[in-house]
Structure 1
Amino acid sequence: MMEIRYAANPTDTKKYTTEKLREEFLIESLFEEGKINLFYSHHDRVVIGGAIPTGEELKLDAGDALRTDYFLERREVGIVNIGPNGTVTVDGQTYDLKKRDCLYVGLGNKEVTLSSEDASNPARFYLVSSPAHKQYPTKVLPIADAEPTKLGSDSESNNRTIYKYIHGDGLQSCQLMMGMTLLEPNNMWNTMPAHVHDRRMEVYLYFDMEEESRVFHFMGEPSETRHLVVKNEQAIISPPWSIHSGVGTNNYTFIWAMAGENYTFKDMDFVKMEDLK
């Protein structure tokens, strides 16, 4: 099954209740043992998924939602393991993923299956897929080989390390960009001052959080901000017109993924603090 999330416009979003905001933009039940859960967003046709293989391997299946013969017939996908060791098999080729390793799988691969090294301590695969027009090689980038970028400071409560996985100078793709940000202990803010990029959407997955911890994720137009309270291993669909920033009750880790018009990190419009409301 694939849950459909339709595109929302900023004028209507201003009037949403908390319940409606969560219904439109928050993915609460992404990970379930023994299943793949998929969510199709009409914002840039991105598919977001979570999988926990506890017995037999799980197959990435298009079902009826995409109306294609197989999931990657017209798509590409990035897969990050956020749990114990696991394996992704792509058309018979096996790729081992430790925690925080990333696999890019390109257009045209017909069969993708996911399994855990230890079913009693299963892997937790997070995936984001976007439409593709060209085939790029399927390739793993271990977290140990990803280039870290240090940003922020303790004084600003945003001392963090960014790992870029899928981008112009990393794993090659058509539209999809993907990476991970780790906040140091006692640091809680991300992406502030905020920005928007009106030509592409973004998805945030928050994880490595304690059960009682929460992230207050800020969204909306810069002059009409709203917030969503997010638990561990929940994801946010961020429309192109929305800011995407958050502050946690503790430090946390998040995976960001983007797809849309432009393929560059420079395509963003920064918002001055005095313009946020």
Structure 2
Amino acid sequence: MTAASQPSPRAAAEAIPAASPCRPVAPRAPLDLPVVDILSAEKIFPDGTRGLAPIDLSIRRGEFVSLIGPSGCGKSTLLKLVANLFEPSDGRIVWWQGNFSRVGEAGRRLAFVFQDPTLMPWARVRTNVRLPLDLAGTDRAEADRRVDAALVQVGLDRKGRHFPGQLSGGMRMRVSIARAMVTEPDLLLMDEPFGALDEFTRNKLDDDLIRLSWEKKLTTVFVTHSLYEAVFLSTRIVVMAANPGRIFGQLELDEPLPRGDDFRNSDRFAALCRELSAMLHAASLESRGDR
């Protein structure tokens, strides 16, 4: 696994369900091979809590898949199964049609961005971004080249000498994203990274993320509580229900990429948000046993 992290247990890790009740899931081309196959994977925690019922889900190359649903529905648990931070209690996960031992090879790199940027406060931005390459023993000249490129990608090429405490919350999150991008990942996993930010900063980072994902042809799995963010970013949205966590439905979005304010302000965006809102309401009712 290629990690985007700092030296702590948590940060070191940085290192075809049922169709939507509102819209059928479009079939995929046969040659569009999956990056991740989740095959009847479930999670039961040591205290007996059933975090996830059996989940079946395929993530295809180049997709931007958002996971959304009520609190406690297992979004982050599912993401951590994909990251191999948790092992399923039953079922299995397949990465690039193989097991996790080959993740990290060329074309099979994975990076994880947590909600908390988890930066080293005593280290400058460049050092924070370079950390996963230092841990991997990457040649310093090559590491510096990648750091330069990653900082340009997130618009922080003039902030490399700063310390995290000198940056805004949005800039610190950009550093965390740069630390993931420096590993040149093929699969990017993000656990509600912008949830603590104000709406203006969040929208700007969403703009940057969708551009970056499109330019780099990333496969991205993104956890969010914001239906507006999910609609703006995603090519597919997976709606989850709780008690236990499970897939309730899916919503495909075939809007052109990259997207910007023209899409955010469009009637189409508003209609998709209404459709997703109805799905989330139904998922919440099912989670409470009201359906």
Q: Normalising by the residue count of structure 2, what TM-score does the alignment of the two structures yield?
A: 0.32
Greater helix content: 2
- Larger RCO (alpha carbons 8 Å, 6+ apart): 2
Greater strand content: 1
